[in-house]
Amino acid sequence: MHPREFPSDHGEAIRVLSSTTSTVDLEEIRRDCGYSAILDFHLPVGLSVEDLQTLNSTVRDMLPLDRGHTLFRQGESFGALYVVRAGSLKTFVEGSEGDLQILGFHLPGDIMGIGGLTNEHYPCSAQALERSSIFELRYNQLQEVSASVPALHHQLLRVISGALVTEQRHSVMMGKQQAQRRLAFFIRRMADRYARLSRDPQVLALPMSRGDIANYLGLALETVSRLFTKMESDGLLAVNRKSVDILRRDLLDEMCGGEIDI
């Protein structure tokens, strides 16, 4: 019942694609999550069949999670990382007075649970926004494999570091940008993530509620609603409930200002 934290979404990749033609079901993962899956990890030369087997054994398919159901809960002991295969989730911390704060939204390919590495406990909860499929990466098995596969170790560091960088950008945005720019950044980032998943980046089907978006961006629900309306009347978007069409990407980018890589 205490606030900790957790990974935000970030576009980092661990491409688990052996250059050899091995029959790993990691291939299957890659298909599902699209090109930029977290598990998208370029295995280097010299990976034994045995290593591949072990690596394979670390990935466990889980039963689908229904909307509103919890993958792991803040405070639970850490045991595994998770990768979204299909659907979407949100991670959040709960304050002492029951108030909750959303840390990030997770689309296929995104990794979750990184924050648990520090102190043996998940610092946040993860909940499905819709019916979702998830992979589990048992951490001790992952450790085992990465001991024999240096590249995996390095890639793990890269992914976490990437999450850190993403989170820092988010901090900066929360501290400096005003409401409409925050929403613009949010929409643009969702579009970019859609693109990496080979979805149409101009037609977003946002799986989260207005309240979730507002909470994530540190705004009031009403402000977000008003901004959607405004951006629609500005001809920037076509909004219909969860569906958001980006009509003028140029104006959206302009609204985000010079900062290209946020």
Instruction: Tokens 């045991």: give the residue.
Output: 79
CA 128 to chain centre: 12
CB of 230 to DNA, least distance (A): 8
Angle (CA) 205 192 248, round 5°: 75
15 with 41: CB under 8 angstroms?
A: yes
Of 168 and 233, which has the nearer Cβ to a copy of itself? 168
Q: Which of a copy of itself, DNA, none is residue 258 near (CB under 5 to 8 Å by kind)?
A: a copy of itself
Note the residues at the interface with a copy of itself (CB under 8 A). Answer: 2-8, 12, 93, 95-97, 101, 103, 114-119, 123-124, 143, 146-147, 150, 153-154, 156-158, 160-172, 174-176, 217-218, 257-262
Nearer to a copy of itself by Cβ, of 147 and 203: the residue is 147
Element (H, E) at 118: helix 116-119
Amino acid of residue 243: S
When the beta carbons of 123 and 207 are compared against a copy of itself, the nearer one is: 123
Cβ closer to a copy of itself: 171 or 243?
A: 171
Choose from DNA, a copy of itself, none: what does 226 bind? Cβ within 5-8 Å by kind.
DNA
* Contact (Cβ atoms closer than 8 angstroms) between residue 32 and residue 55: no
Tell me the C-alpha distance between 176 and 174, whole Å.
6
As measured in angstroms, the least distance from the Cβ of 42 to a copy of itself is 15
Least distance to a copy of itself from the beta carbon of 259, Å?
6
* Residues near DNA (CB under 7 A): 178-180, 209-211, 218-226, 228-229, 239, 241-242
Q: Which of 56, 94, 97 is nearest to 73 (CA)?
A: 94
Binding-site partner at residue 211 among DNA, a copy of itself, none, CB < 5 to 8 Å by type:
DNA
Q: CA 239 to CA 231: how far, in whole Å?
A: 9
CA dist., res. 137 & res. 199, Å (int): 26
Helices (H), 177-248: 179-196, 210-217, 221-233
Q: Which does 90 bind (CB under 5 to 8 A by kind): a copy of itself, DNA, none?
A: none
Q: Which is nearer to DNA, 76 or 99 (CB)?
A: 99
Residue 2's binding partner among a copy of itself, DNA, none (Cβ under 5 to 8 angstroms by kind) is: a copy of itself
CA 166 centroid distance within chain: 11
- Of the candidates 105, 113, 68, which has an alpha carbon nearest to the alpha carbon of residue 88? 105
* CB 90, CB 96: distance < 8 Å: no
> Pairing relation of β-strands 125-128 and 59-61?
unpaired
Shortest spacing between CB 179 and DNA, in angstroms: 3
- Nearer of residues 138 and 210 to DNA, judged by Cβ: 210
Of the pair 151, 239, the CB lying nearest DNA is at: 239
**Which residues pair with residue 42 across a beta bridge?**
17
Residue 20 binding: pick among a copy of itself, DNA, none (C-beta 5-8 Å cut-off by kind): none
With CB cut-offs between 5 and 8 Å by kind, which of DNA, a copy of itself, none does residue 247 bind?
Answer: none
